[in-house]
Amino acid sequence: MLEVRNLTKIYNDGTVALHNVNFSVDDGEFLIVIGLSGSGKSTLLRCINRLIDPTEGEIMWDGIDLTKLKGTELRNVRRKIGMVFQHFNLVKRSSVLTNVLTGRLGYTTAWRSLFGKFSHEDRDRALGALERLGILDQAHKRADELSGGQQQRVGVARALMQEPRMILADEPVASLDPVLAHSLLNRLEWLNQEEKITIICSLHYLDLVQRYATRVIGLMNGEVVYQGSREDIRAMTDREFKNIYGEEAERVGGIQGEIGSNGGAK
Amino acid sequence: MTKVQNTQTEQKPSLVHPVIAMLVSIVVPGFGHVLARAWQRGILIIASFFTILGLTIWRINQDVIKIGQKVSKLGDIIDKILRLQPILLVTCIVAFILYLLIIFDAYQVAARKTKGATRVFLVLLVTFFLLGWQIGKIDLPLFAREFGKSKYRISQIFWPWEEAVSRAETEVAASQNIQIPCTDNPPSPNPITEDPWIRTTPTCGNLSQQDGAPGTTLSIEVGNFSPNTETEILWSDPLANEFRARQEGEYLILTTDDQGGLQFNIVIPYRLVPSSAEGPQIWKIKARQLSATGEIGPSEILMLAMSKMIETIFLGMMATFFGIILALPVSFFAAKNLMSGTWITLLIYYIVRTLLNIVRSVEPLIWAVIAVAIVGLGPFAGIISLTLHSVAALGKLYSEAIESIDHGPIEAVQATGANWLQTVVYAVVPQIVPPFVSFTIYRWDINVRMSTIIGLVGGGGIGYLLIQWIRLLDFKAAGIAVWFIILTVATLDNVSAEIRQRFV
């Protein structure tokens, strides 16, 4: 159970990115955060794993206040929280396998990792993760030789290496085409349902939100302006969506029926 | 079209009547434009026109009036220009056309008939081009003429390899003593033996005189030398200075007959005799056959060029090595993204950047001159100068590589629970190593190339030999040095390109 209380983030230049944000997520939920660019979605996700230090407020996760953690304690919590990024954030010149193995750094001693000595177990695990995501044959290529969709799957594999209990996904499909977007969200949904990993994901498209979310919160100018359950979202019309989201909101397109069998482009 | 009209209607009217602008421009070309509110155009025209005027007068004064007999009358000056520097006359004519155009343009601009024609600037450029041609002393016919004459020298540079091998020479020689002047007791002629011999009759005589009176004619016989071989004849004065005998101005080289013998006459040459020399002196006449029949081996020039080339390569390598070691720490201080934290670090950043720029803007050759003044001639001076320049150049390139790293992977690795060291090793290093390697090899390439000429100012390496050989007009030796430089640089170029391709 993740509980965010009175979370506020003010950047050094005075920008108020989050203002008094309150919400909670039960374990095993698929929470989707919607909102315009600049509404504070990325800041919110980064506050949870403390890539950004919040100015005020608490983030309680299983009784621990994440905002108070430091050093090793913080790193030990971070390794239980996987993260997937809009621009994949892979080390482009490193191999796919090395990128995936970085997911194990939180579990590896510093001197071992200094020389790239990951255990056989970790290697097998990394190859297994790549296999599950269907890109095992790409393992020894450089990360930037892969297509966008494949790179994002490497990003997911890296997150999986952490054996996460929660995955933060910051607009994971914004750089992908609709088919790949569905394919990736399918995988996240599968992880959510089969492995009971809590997913907190920011998204842009109404139909994706309706299709995958079990809960939704809407942000506007750093404040929570909407909270809804699965049923609320299903009943939501484009008009209501645009009210929260702004006029530029749009649907990905009517390809929902096909994605199950397609499984994404190669 | 509407747009053009808009800008014209928005434009404020000229301060003065077009005719006045024109008249003003006759006195000060371009000032009419200023009065017509075409500030930039006006100032540019004033500056350019007076620059052209000044330069033209300077060149006429320098290259025409000051040369030869001084002239003051205009007609004479023009006549002299025509003979010496016709291009200056063309420049004057074009400059006058420019002057007229500026006056006309001033009227048009003031009358708002045109926003300003480009032809003024076109003629301006042509004038500068003509002046540049004259100042640069460009002479294409000279090039064409002299190129044909220098074919032999150039061919020596292109194919110098005869100089690269040498054979050990064997000398066969014999000499006969000659007394100057004659006494009662002249030296006896050499006997005829099995060995090569030379004998003269008589065995004494007088030197030729400075006023042209010929000396004694000697009749010379030579025998038992190698047959049909070129033979040199040399004189040896009483101090044992050898000099080659001449006949009618040419060095005397004779070819022996089938028996290895020669017979010829020679006049004893003129030679300044020191006043301290008293009494009869013993001279010698010598016949010599040199034959390159020994073992073939690399010539001294080749060995010298090779050893200096090795020195050159290592000079470049050491400079690169020191450059890397010093540039690595410096580059972190010169990376803005790392140094923009506080005003102190930012100050350090600006200081380091400025220093790097200053060091880099001074050519390695100039640094080498300074280094030679400190540590003297030799490769160490070259290493110092190239190291300085490398640090400045690599420091800048490295810091730019650091500045351009992508923050995304750092964030992603941090998010996995990695500590600071792991983040550096897995997210920062992989991003900066390839550009670092690439820049370093590029720099090595430059350093070796630079070290081939750093010797011109005494910084060691093959350049030192090259400039010596060029000054001695030994174009074959210089050619060998040039060949070595080309081969090394080309090889290195390919190797570095290959390595860079693999890393980046």
pLDDT given at position A136? 87
Rg from Cα positions in chain A: 18
In a domain? residue A176: no
Q: In what order do the strands lie in the sheet with B197-201?
A: B197-201, B217-223, B262-267
Beta strands in B253-349 (DSSP E): 253-255, 262-267, 281-291, 296-298
d(CA B127, CA B118): 14
Residues of B in contact with A93 (CB under 8 A): 430-431, 434
Q: What is the mean pLDDT of residues A203-213?
A: 82
Residues B187 and B325 in one domain: no
How many angstroms separate the CA atoms of A184 and B227, rounded? 98
In this complex, do A78 and B414 lie within 8 Å of one another by their Cβ atoms? yes
Residue with tokens 């003979």: B83
| A90 falls within a domain | no
> CB-based contact (8 Å) between A59 and chain B?
no
pLDDT at B344 over 80: yes
A246 belongs to a structural domain: yes
Say yes or no to pLDDT of A257 above 50. no
- Assigned domain for A164 exists: no
Torsion region of A224: left, alpha or beta (phi above 0 gives left; psi -120 to 50 gives alpha): beta
Considering A236-245, B205-214, B377-386, the range whose residues carry the highest mean pLDDT is: B377-386
Q: Which two tokens stand for residue A196?
A: 């009971």
Mean pLDDT, rounded, for B364-390: 94
* 3 state SS of A17: strand
Shared-domain flag, residues B430 and B448: yes
Least confident stretch, B10-24, B134-148, B404-418? B10-24
Q: Can you give the pLDDT at residue A248?
A: 61
Instruction: Look at residue B223 and give its three-state secondary structure.
Output: strand
Q: Does A110 touch chain B (CB under 8 A)?
A: yes
> pLDDT value at position A260?
36
- Say what the pTM is: 0.65
- Quick check: B335 and B402 in contact, CB under 8 A? yes
Asked if the C-beta of A94 comes within 8 angstroms of chain B's C-beta atoms, the answer is: yes
In a domain, A158, yes or no: no
Contact between A244 and A220 under an 8 Å Cβ cutoff? The reply is: yes
| Residue B189 sits at the chain A interface (C-beta within 8 Å) | no
- What was the pLDDT predicted at A238? 72
User: Does B342 contact chain A (CB < 8 Å)?
Assistant: no
Nearest chain A residue to B410 by CA: give it.
A89
Tell which of B269, B291, B313 closes a domain. Answer: B291
Tell me whether B429 touches chain A (CB under 8 Å): no
The predicted-structure confidence for A11-69, as pLDDT tens digits, reads as follows 888 888 888 888 888 888 899 998 888 888 889 999 998 888 899 898 988 888 888 88
Higher pLDDT pick, A204 / B231: B231
Which of A118-122, A131-135, B166-170, B428-432 has the least mean pLDDT? Answer: B166-170
Residues of B in contact with A107 (CB under 8 A): 417
Of B409, B416, B434, the CB nearest to A79: B416
pLDDT tens by residue, B196-224: 889 888 888 888 888 878 888 888 888 88
Task: Return the higher-pLDDT residue of B87 and B272.
Answer: B87
* B320 and B397 together in one domain: yes
The answer to whether the CB atoms of B421 and A81 lie below 8 A apart is: no
Q: From the candidates A91, A92, A109, which should be mutated to test the interface with B, based on the most B CB atoms within 10 A?
A: A91
Judged against a pLDDT cut of 80, whether residue A241 lies above it is answered with no
Q: Which residue has the higher pLDDT, B70 or B441?
A: B441
> Which pair of tokens denotes residue B201?
């009759």
CA angle at A146 for the pair A95 and B403, rounded to the nearest 5°: 65
Asked whether B173 and B289 are in contact (CB, 8 A), the reply is yes
Alpha helices in B207-294 (DSSP H): none
B241 and B278 part of one domain: yes
Domain boundary among B291, B317, B343: B291
Clarify whether residues B268 and B322 are in a common domain. no
Residues B67 and B188 in one domain: no
- Output DSSP code: residue B272: P
* A137 DSSP assignment: G
Query: Is B406 at the interface with chain A, CB within 8 A?
Result: yes
Choose the mutation target among B411, B413, B416 for the interface with A, i.e. most A CBs under 10 Å: B416
CB contact under 8 A, A105 and B430: no
Find chain A residues with C-beta within 8 A of B417's C-beta.
75-80, 105-107, 162
Banded pLDDT at B427 (limits 50, 70, 90): confident
Residue A129 counted as domain residue: no
The token pair that represents B460 in the structure block: 């060691």
B340 touches chain A (CB under 8 A): no
Question: What mean pLDDT do residues A250-254 have?
Answer: 54
Same domain, residue pair B363 and B440:
yes
- Indicate whether B342 pLDDT > 80: no
CA distance A49 to chain B (A): 7
Residue B457, classified by CB atoms within 10 Å of its CB into exposed (0-12), middle (13-18) or buried (19+), is: buried
Q: Residue B19 and residue B111: Cα distance in Å, rounded? A: 9
In a domain, B156, yes or no: no
* pLDDT of amino acid A249: 58
- Provide the pLDDT for residue B6: 44
Chain A residue whose CA is closest to B424: A114
A194: Cβ contacts below 8 Å, ≥ 6 apart: none
Given an 8 Å threshold on Cβ–Cβ distance, is B426 in contact with A106? no
| Angle made by CA atoms A203, A206, A210, in degrees to the nearest 5 | 95
Residues of B in contact with A106 (CB under 8 A): 416-418
Distance from CA of A102 to the nearest CA of B (A): 7
How confident is residue B11, by pLDDT bands cut at 50, 70 and 90?
low
As for how many domains chain A has, the answer is 1
Cross-strand partners of A95: A142
- Cα–Cα distance measured from residue B225 to residue A59, given in angstroms and rounded to the nearest whole number: 111
Q: Is the model's pLDDT at A167 over the cut of 80?
A: yes
pLDDT tops 90 at residue A139: no
Assign 3-class secondary structure to B349-361: HHHHHHHHHHHHH
pLDDT in tens, B92-134: 999 999 999 999 888 888 887 776 668 888 999 999 999 999 9
Q: Which of B400, B423, B409 is nearest to B337 (CA)?
A: B400
Residue B432 at interface with chain A, using a CB cutoff of 8 Å: no
Q: Taking the mean position of all CA atoms in its chain, how far away is CA A252?
A: 19
| Nearest of B192, B263, B261, B251 to residue B226 by alpha carbon | B261
Mean pLDDT of chain A: 83
- pLDDT value of residue B1: 37
Nearest to B417 among A78, A88, A89 (CB): A78
Say yes or no: B434 contacts chain A, CB-CB below 8 A. Answer: yes
Q: What range defines the domain where residue B87 resides? A: 2-138
Q: What is the mean pLDDT of chain B?
A: 86
| Mean pLDDT of the region A156-162 | 90
Number of structural domains, chain B? 3
pLDDT for residue A242:
72
Q: What is the pLDDT of residue B129?
A: 95
Please check whether residue B160 lies inside any domain of the structure.
Answer: no
Instruction: Residue A230: give the domain boundaries.
Output: 1-28+38-78+208-252
> Percent of chain B, pLDDT > 90?
29
For position B412, which CATH number holds?
Answer: 1.10.3720.10
Query: Is A49 in the B-facing interface, judged by CB distances under 8 Å?
Result: yes
Asked if residue B350 belongs to a domain, the reply is: yes
Q: What is the largest CA-CA distance in chain A?
A: 56
pLDDT 10s digits, B147-171: 888 888 888 888 888 888 887 778 8
B430–chain A Cβ distance below 8 A for any pair: yes
Contact check, Cβ <8 Å, A51/B414: yes
pLDDT value, residue A221: 84
Is B461:B451 a contact under the CB 8 Å cutoff? yes
Instruction: Answer yes or no: do B417 and A83 touch at CB < 8 A.
Output: no
- Pairwise CA distance, residues B283 & B86, whole Å: 62
Please give the sequence-ordered ranges of beta strands (E in DSSP) within B256-396, or none if there are none: 262-267, 281-291, 296-298
Percent helix, percent strand, percent coil in chain B, to nearest 5: 60, 15, 25
A248: CATH: 3.40.50.300
Q: How confident is the model at residue A230 (pLDDT cuts 50, 70, 90)?
A: confident
pLDDT at A256: 42
What integer pLDDT is reported at residue A261 of this predicted model? 36
Residues of chain A found within 8 Å of residue B401, distances taken between Cβ atoms: none
Residue B40, pLDDT > 90, answer no
Set of chain B residues whose Cβ sits within 8 Å of the Cβ of A155: 412
pLDDT in tens, B455-498: 888 888 899 889 999 999 889 899 999 999 999 989 988 988 88
Query: Does A118 contact chain B (CB < 8 Å)?
Result: no
Q: List Cα–Cα distances, B210 to B4, B214, B233, B249, in angstroms.
A: 91, 9, 22, 15
In chain B, whose CA is at the least distance from the CA of A161? B416
Give domain status of residue A17, yes or no.
yes
Whole-angstrom Cα distance, residue B434 to residue B402?
A: 11
User: How remote is the C-alpha of B436 from its chain's centroid?
Assistant: 32
Chain B residue nearest residue A83, CA to CA: B415
- Mark residue B412 as left, alpha or beta (left: phi above 0; alpha: psi -120 to 50; beta: remaining): alpha
pLDDT of residue B322 exceeding 90: yes
Please give the Cα distance from A48 to A78 (Å, whole number). Answer: 9
Q: CA distances (Å), B68 to each of A127, B64, B77, B207, in order?
A: 89, 8, 12, 46
Asked, for residue B364, whether it belongs to a domain, the answer is: yes
Q: What is the pLDDT of residue B321?
A: 95
Sign of the Cα pseudo-torsion (B88, B91, B92, B93, in order): positive
pLDDT bucket at A259, cuts 50 / 70 / 90: very low
Q: What mean pLDDT comes out for the span A108-128? A: 84
| Cis check: omega of the bond before B181, within 30 degrees of 0 | yes
Residue after which a domain boundary falls, among B266, B291, B316: B291
Which candidate from B409, B417, B419 shows the least CB-CB separation from A89? B409
Nearest CA in chain A to B425: A114
Partnered with residue A199 across adjacent β-strands are A30, A167
Q: Are residues B183 and B281 in the same domain?
A: yes
Question: Which of A208 and B91 is assigned the larger pLDDT?
Answer: B91
Which among B415, B418, B434 has CB closest to A49? B415
Q: Which residue has the higher pLDDT, B244 or B326?
A: B326
Strand pairing of A223-229 and B246-247? Answer: unpaired
Same domain, B419 and B336: yes
Contacts of B390 by beta carbon, 8 Å cutoff, 6+ apart:
B319, B320, B322, B323, B324, B327, B443, B447
**Radius of gyration in angstroms for the set of CA atoms belonging to chain B, rounded to a whole number:** 38
* B282 and B411 within one domain: no
Q: Which of A41-45, A119-123, B194-198, B336-340 has the lowest mean pLDDT?
A: B336-340
- The CA distance from A245 to A239, in Å, is 10
Mutate to test the interface with B, among A105, A109, A122, A167 (most CBs of B within 10 A): A105
A235: distance to nearest CA of chain B, Å?
A: 36
User: Tens digits of per-residue pLDDT, B385-404?
Assistant: 999 999 999 999 999 998 88
Question: To the nearest whole angstrom, how far is the Cα of A237 from the nearest Cα of chain B?
Answer: 36
| pLDDT at A250 (0 to 100) | 60
Distance from CA of B421 to the nearest CA of A (A): 7
In the predicted model, is pLDDT for residue B23 greater than 60? yes
Residue B415 sits at the chain A interface (C-beta within 8 Å): yes
Return the pLDDT at A264: 35
Distance from the B438 Cα atom to the nearest Cα atom in chain A, whole angstroms? 14
Q: A215, A228 in Cβ contact below 8 A? A: yes
The answer, for A239 touching chain B at a CB cutoff of 8 Å, is: no
Residue ranges of alpha helices (H) inside chain A are 41-48, 71-78, 96-101, 110-114, 120-132, 148-161, 178-194, 206-212, 230-234, 238-245, 259-262
Q: Which of B52-61, B62-71, B137-146 has the lowest mean pLDDT?
A: B62-71
How far apart (Å, rounded) are the C-alpha atoms in residues B316 and B307?
Answer: 14
Amino acid at A98: T
Q: With an 8 Å Cβ cutoff, are A113 and B427 in contact?
A: no
Using the predicted structure, report yes or no on whether residue A244 has a pLDDT greater than 80. no
Closest to A35 (Cα-Cα) out of A230, A169, A175, A171: A171
Evaluate whether residue B260 is within a structural domain. yes
Q: What is the mean pLDDT of residues B176-197?
A: 84
Whether the CB of A75 is below 8 Å from some CB of chain B: the reply is yes
- Interface membership of A51 toward B (CB under 8 Å): yes
Tell me: do B133 and B178 sit in the same domain.
no
| pLDDT tier for residue B366 given thresholds of 50, 70 and 90 | very high
> Does residue B401 lie within any of the structural domains?
yes
